Amino acid sequence: MRVRNIPWAKDYLPTQPSFVTDPKELKGQWKEKLGCETLHVEIGSGKGDYWKQMSEMYPEKGWIGIEKNASIAALAMKKVEDDFKENRLFINLDAKDLEEWFEEKELDVIHLNFSDPWPKKRNMKRRLSHHSFLNVYKKLLTDDGRIIMKTDNTKLFEYSIIEFQNSGFILEEVYLDFRKEEHPEDAITEYESKFMKKNQPIYRGVWKK
């Protein structure tokens, strides 16, 4: 996702009640903090559309958005500036440090929505479905946890299916055209709506441990 550099982002973020400056401080305590039994984490939230909508559709669940780009994170925080909700928090850091913020088996669902495809082989490690990430997700998920991925990118989806398989995950649901039918239970992300307007199919997979 590209946005112009927002010079006020870094000062603005810590002033927001939904913003977590140091997620290490909440390690092992997220569910208590969010007042929930089921914890969802979205990695690469962009401007936060999915995180915002889903936290409002499922207020009994906890929702954490993670976005590494400060300017983009600031746009997400702007969207909820006047709308604080107890069940959602946002982190502006790189998900490579996920293990420092979450305890083993603390997460119920991890969402990967329209993750950067990183098409060049030399950048493969940055893909959020690279096995190094999957091994961390596996530790942090509960025994009954799920990873849900949506993408428009055929190559990334093909790559991810193999990575999940080789990391010991079980494919539970797969869609090659998720939005062909109505899915009111699942919010449409910003990227997703762009691809839907262009009539591109949306791929979706659900994996369990």
**Minimum separation from the CB atom of position 143 to ligand SAH (A):** 25
Query: Chain-centre distance of CA 107, in angstroms?
Result: 12
- For this structure, is 108 an active site residue? no
Closer residue to ligand SAH (CB): 64 or 161: 64
Burial of 99 (0-12, 13-18, 19+ CB in 10 A): middle
- The total of other beta-carbon atoms located within 10 Å of residue 196's CB is 15
* HSE value, Cβ hemisphere, 13 Å, CA-based, for 172: 12
Give the amino acid at 28: G
Residues that bind ligand SAH (CB under 6 A): 1, 43-46, 50, 66-69, 72, 94-96, 113-116, 128, 189-192
**Minimum separation from the CB atom of position 83 to ligand SAH (A):** 19
**Minimum separation from the CB atom of position 97 to ligand SAH (A):** 9
Closer residue to ligand SAH (CB): 16 or 71: 71
Closer residue to ligand SAH (CB): 36 or 43: 43
Catalytic residue among 22, 94, 97, 116: 116
Closer residue to ligand SAH (CB): 58 or 196: 196
**Minimum separation from the CB atom of position 9 to ligand SAH (A):** 13
Q: Are 57 and 127 in contact (CB under 8 A)?
A: no
Which candidate, 44, 194, 189, 55, places its Cα nearest to that of 204?
189
CB environment 112-142: b (16+ within 10 A), e (fewer) = bbbbebbeeeeeeebbbbbbebbebbbebbe
Catalytic residue positions, numbered: 116
